[in-house]
Structure 1
């Protein structure tokens, strides 16, 4: 399947999941809906990289030199989205899920306008181990790769914890009288 089409499909299902999540009040059902959302969202990170690489190559640009600025704009977009939710004071509201659903739907529709990414012409009769990427584990024989992987996992875990619990933690500062009017309490996503 072409990367741009799969990207659109994943974002469409993510939009549906976020729309449904905005209407749920049961924590167990919310867990499963958000797990589904994560399952369809996570591949879009790699797919957006593939689409960027293909687009850069088709326009004759060097992916090593020209991709990093593209990636920086992704980070800037993430920060602006968080600031928007914070400035609109939607951080503790289910409306933020509707906003995210709308953004995901827009990305799904936008993916229809992207140029097609060619599929691999590689030989199709690969082993199951190769198809699942398990043969990449041989890289862990190299000490540097094993250390890099370990620290990447630890950093990823720390990032997920701060993304999940940082905002509610900062909102709790409103309970302390001398912090209730601070910028951190009013707009927690802005200073972080």
Structure 2
């Protein structure tokens, strides 16, 4: 891969996640403050991500993989997305805002797979070449949060500007995508079944009791995850934290650090301990939020944010590696598609609906919310998921696989 292509792919990845981070982090605060919505409506707005995640495989499987080059579809989706984000910034009510952001997320979520597809097709060794490029995406999210904090849009009530900033970045990426390396469809002229699109080829993995336990835990842990994504920014702003979006970017900084440390921990701890530590971090994060404040316990708020690296990397990244190893070469893509659909689709959808109703239930008559009661609920959910996981996840073959030993034939028989 030439330096020019590497630069283009890195720029693409930076803009891709800058766009998302530019408006998604502060969406809850914008809706509650600017459009004066209920928390339930905030949850409904956030579940557009889940709807987009469910629809995305169909767009990729039925269109991108068969008819058009990936970079052209990426360009068209981002140019359309730019217009939608700009219109979203002008919406004066939730009824006008919601259909715009719903259509936008249906168009945006497929681009997450498209940028990966464009990248992988240019690489000889993705395991070595992809991480340095993907890390630019996390950097883009961080820069978006720091920009919002630096411009004080949260304190000044100018969060509509976040959508316009994202719209400009989306337009730039849309035009820039036409210059990306040609990435022709991989199944031109072929057929794609519903099972291919939804990753149903990998359904046999669920016959493995330990993988079934992990799969269900992944769906369940996305319920407390939705609390974090949907209501952390409104919570921090309500408590009076300055530049909350900028402070939240420390979560992505933590994610970068622990991503680099993953190989060290993975070899020494193995899958079960890594997953368990990740889930325990969820419990700890929400307890810190429950008892934190902007005064003496300010450190608890920062600690809860910084734990994002352990929460995400130790559970989701470890889970992706675990899934990849069990699936084998034949079912790798299908297995990753299945777990993504289950977590960001089904799990986050349930979490978005539940979190909104709970936050509304703990709204105070004088204004604000009983946040301690609210945060202890996702802490409890994560604690129950962790306990059940520790009791039921007992696959002895995993130790051999995580240590680099040859795969166990009996495990392969049960899985495939």
Query: Corresponding residue for 1:33?
Result: 100
* Corresponding residue to 1:47 among 114, 119, 134: 114
1:61-100 matches, cutoff 5 A: 62-91=125-154, 92=157, 93-100=159-166
Residue 149 of structure 1 and its aligned partner are, at CA, apart by 3.3
Counterparts in 2 of 1:24 and 1:72: CA distance versus 1, 3 Å: same
Q: TM-score, normalised by structure 1?
A: 0.81
Query: Corresponding residue for 1:114?
Result: 180
Q: TM-score, normalised by structure 2?
A: 0.40
Q: Could you say what the CA RMSD is over the residues aligned between the two structures, in angstroms?
A: 2.2
Counterparts in 2 of 1:122 and 1:112: CA distance versus 1, 3 Å: closer
In 1, the alpha carbon distance for the partners of 2:229 and 2:136 equals 19
1:98-177 matches, cutoff 5 A: 98-121=164-187, 124-174=190-240
* Corresponding residue to 1:21 among 61, 84, 88: 88
> Cα deviation per residue 1:60-83 (whole Å; 9 max; x = unaligned)?
xx1011211211121111111111
Q: Higher relative contact order by CA 8 Å / sep ≥ 6: 1 or 2?
A: 1
* Structure 2: segments with no counterpart, 5+ residues: 1-67, 249-416
| Worse-superposed segment, 156-165 or 94-103 | 156-165
In 2, the alpha carbon distance for the partners of 1:14 and 1:97 equals 11
In 2, the alpha carbon distance for the partners of 1:67 and 1:97 equals 29
CA contact under 8 A between 2:120 and 2:130: conserved in structure 1? Answer: yes
| Worse-superposed segment, 156-165 or 28-37 | 156-165
Q: Which runs of at least 4 in structure 1 moved beyond 6 Å after TM superposition?
A: none
Counterparts in 2 of 1:131 and 1:173: CA distance versus 1, 3 Å: closer
Residue 18 of structure 1 and its aligned partner are, at CA, apart by 0.5
Which one has the bigger helix percentage?
2
CA contact under 8 A between 2:147 and 2:246: conserved in structure 1? Answer: no
Larger radius of gyration: 2
In 2, the alpha carbon distance for the partners of 1:95 and 1:47 equals 27
CA contact under 8 A between 2:206 and 2:212: conserved in structure 1? Answer: yes
* Structure 1: segments with no counterpart, 5+ residues: 175-184
In 1, the alpha carbon distance for the partners of 2:243 and 2:200 equals 44
Residue 84 of structure 1 and its aligned partner are, at CA, apart by 0.6
Query: Corresponding residue for 2:77?
Result: 10
In 2, the alpha carbon distance for the partners of 1:119 and 1:31 equals 33
Counterparts in 2 of 1:75 and 1:131: CA distance versus 1, 3 Å: closer
Matched length = 178
